[in-house]
Amino acid sequence: MLKITNLTAHYGAAQALFGVDLELQKGTTVALVGANGAGKSTLLKCIMGLHSPTGGIISLSGQEITRKAPAQMARLGVALSPEGREVFPHLSVHDNLRLGALPLKLSKKLGAERMDEIFVRFPKLRERYQQLAGTLSGGEQQMLAMGRALMAGPSLLLLDEPSLGLAPRITDDIFAIIHQLSRSGTTILLVEQNAARALSASDYAYLLAHGKVVEQGPSRKLLNDPALRSAFLGAASDDNPAASRLGGAGLTNIRLEKNLMSELSFMPDFSTETELAAHQLNGLKWTVNHVWEGSSFYRKKFEGAGMTPASIQSLNDLRKLSFTTAEDLRAEYPFPLRAVPFEQIVRIHASSGTTGKRKVLSYTQKDIDDWGHFFARCYQMAGVTPLDRVQIAVGYGVWTAGVGFQSGCEKMGALAIPVGPGNIDMQIQFLLDFQSTVFCSTASMALLMAEEIHKRGIADKIAVKKIIYGSERSSRAMRLKISELFGGAELFDITGLTELYGPGTGIECSEHDCIHYWGDYYLLEILDPETLQPVPEGEWGEMVVTSLCKEAAPLIRYRTRDITRIIPGRCNCGSILPRHSRIKGRSDDTIKFRGVNIYPSSIDTILSAVPGIGSEYQIHLTRDNTGRDSMRLIIERAEKVATTRSAELIHEIGHQIKKQLLVSADLELVEYATLPRSERKSQRVFDNRLQGEIV
């Protein structure tokens, strides 16, 4: 949108800008950061036509605008909120706002509509509609200056020192508004001496010193770079954080030791597959010896199979070991697989118990520490930093989810907001009040929140950039809908199970085509669920896991029942860690219908490919008196899709189900948002063919 090339500027004989180059993309917020006298305000004045540059070119959307008059710039869609506010003190709030649109000669109707929009964004200005601008507080005058600039409906908003002279609480309010403007699509060039605020509120930044660009890059990278902070912004100490220009500009609220967490990496230190394999073999040998010495359950199994720790000499020897199942955990209740004395156990967690006795797992302190470490790795792979605010909307208590998400968050130094599931009104309020940047939940909860955000029209008022979800499958259509209604948030599918620490045992990377799993903490086999033999690499099968350093309740060849496949080769993201596909289904929840095995994810895939279909559906299976099975699919139309398209959509879905699954189904389309949403897992399969208890 804006391109500045080799710009120079003088005040008489004194040169203020020296060959400045700058670019600003549409829809982004770019910060200009520097100390007093760096040339920041001069640069804005040159863009706006308030100061004539002595050299260089300024282009707006491909059109050269160098040295155009301010009124012309306003008509081209550029508006400035100047340093010091510069409101007209003897005019009312209403008249100050009207002056912002004066060069555009708006109609009375359009002018009134613009003013209403300003009052929605700045409610305090509505309250002081007829009040003289000179009687407003500093923060209210800043809102008025920004509102006056927005009256022109700019495509590019220039903000010059919006926090200058304001109290910290008022500065919070002003930057919340700046963030809302950015979320609504306004392109912003922000000049700000408060480096912490500017870098936290922008996508990209240029650091100016003595009229020159001395550094540039993504804002988060610059703010987290300790070398840059020391070199450009000055040194500081724990005793005197304000000694740096950054500390003096208001960064004293961020502890110096917290920012050093940006130097931490939770990724493994090996760089080759050979090193990983050696680590895994050592871990397997340790685990087998550990359970031989400490677990009566495993010792009995080993002896029954004629195995000893000496039997394990290579990773291939893993196949000599017996399987462990969920039934084993329930049979050994309440402390199954225990391999350490009770005095070493510091915590237990358990599954929901919906299928009988709960699966209870014990943890030593090392287990807890390991879990927190690799959960922090999940956040790191998703691009979360110590500057993020993570709203955790998953269950707490004996279940593993909430405490896992929180410990990983705190391990990496981000701000944790432990809300728990449900209570949509509170979730929304916290998103608005705390400006959470990361939202963690089940997929169903994320959809529920996304639709509520859309219904309330607040997508531009929240700050969520990433959604980390797990615990259930999700279709492509569901993911796209969640991202869209959250204002373009990036989604990351996180995996895990209670038996293997909890959530956080893997996550999708920025490529969004795989799940990286932590091969340094557990081994993964993909087996045919019927024969329990390995399937060829790349084919679907059941995930079987073996822990490599778990102390209290190790897993050896544990059948997870999750269906996935290994993805061979290195990922384009560059990670050495191995990967598998997203979970397709479970080997024990396959729908057996008229001799055909159907995974619910297959229905996901078919529906996702049909335009006009929403993300929610239900599968109802019934059996008549003759023993004939029937399948009925209830499917939501996408939002705003007319009922007149129902016949066309039913025909296409029926055709694809017949073609891909080799079965027929009765189809019913219902209005968008008709089917129930849940803050936990949504039930999609209703198998009513079996009546009474199974003997």
pLDDT tens for each residue of 302-342: 998 889 999 999 999 999 999 999 889 988 889 999 999 99
Residues 442 and 574 in one domain: yes
With contact defined as beta carbons under 8 Å apart, do 391 and 427 qualify?
A: yes
Residues 549 and 624 in one domain: no
Residues 213 and 230 in one domain: no
Whether 338 is covered by a domain: the verdict is no
Residues 501 and 442 in one domain: yes
Residues 229 and 212 in one domain: no
pLDDT tens for each residue of 602-623: 888 888 888 899 888 999 988 7
Q: Which of 578, 612, 635 is the last residue of a domain?
A: 578
Residues 156 and 239 in one domain: no
With contact defined as beta carbons under 8 Å apart, do 532 and 323 qualify?
A: yes
Residues 68 and 166 in one domain: yes
Q: What is the pTM of this model?
A: 0.70
List, in order, residues 6 or more apart from 426 with CB less than 8 Å away: 419
Whether 675 is covered by a domain: the verdict is yes
Whether 472 is covered by a domain: the verdict is yes
Where are any strands of DSSP class E within 102-167? 156-160
Q: Which of 224, 251, 278 is the last residue of a domain?
A: 224
Task: Give the number of domains in the chain.
Answer: 4
Per residue, what are the HEC states of 545-556? EEECCCCCCCCC
Whether 244 is covered by a domain: the verdict is yes
Identify the pLDDT of residue 625. 67
Structure-token pair, residue 286: 């340790």
Average pLDDT over residues 102-109: 88
Structural domain boundaries, residue 469: 365-578
| pLDDT above 50: residue 357 | yes
Average pLDDT over residues 180-198: 85
- Looking at this protein, which amino acid is placed at residue 87? V
**CATH, residue 663:** 3.30.300.30
Q: How far apart are the first and last CA of the chain?
A: 70
Class of residue 237 by CB neighbours under 10 A (exposed 0-12, middle 13-18, buried 19+): exposed
Q: What span, in angstroms and rounded, lies between the C-alpha atoms of 228 and 379?
A: 24
Residues 208 and 240 in one domain: no
Whether 354 is covered by a domain: the verdict is no
Whether 291 is covered by a domain: the verdict is no
Residues 432 and 572 in one domain: yes
Secondary structure of residue 248 in the 3-state scheme: helix
Identify the pLDDT of residue 227. 56
Residues 34 and 176 in one domain: yes
pLDDT tens for each residue of 477-531: 788 889 999 988 999 999 999 899 999 999 999 999 899 999 999 999 999 998 9
CA distances from 469 to 396, 488, 618, 652 (A): 15, 15, 21, 31
Q: Which of 522, 556, 578 is the last residue of a domain?
A: 578
User: Is residue 287 within a helix (H) or strand (E), and if so which, with residue range?
Assistant: helix 273-294
DSSP secondary structure letters along 113-127: HHHHHHHHH-HHHHH
Residues 109 and 200 in one domain: yes
Which DSSP state fits 147? H
The rounded percent of the chain whose pLDDT value lies above 70 is: 91
Whether 646 is covered by a domain: the verdict is yes
Whether 425 is covered by a domain: the verdict is yes
**CATH, residue 119:** 3.40.50.300
pLDDT tens for each residue of 631-662: 999 999 988 899 999 999 999 999 999 988 88
**CATH, residue 546:** 3.40.50.12780
Residues 168 and 197 in one domain: yes
List, in order, residues 6 or more apart from 327 with CB less than 8 Å away: none
To which residue do tokens 């290195």 refer?
570
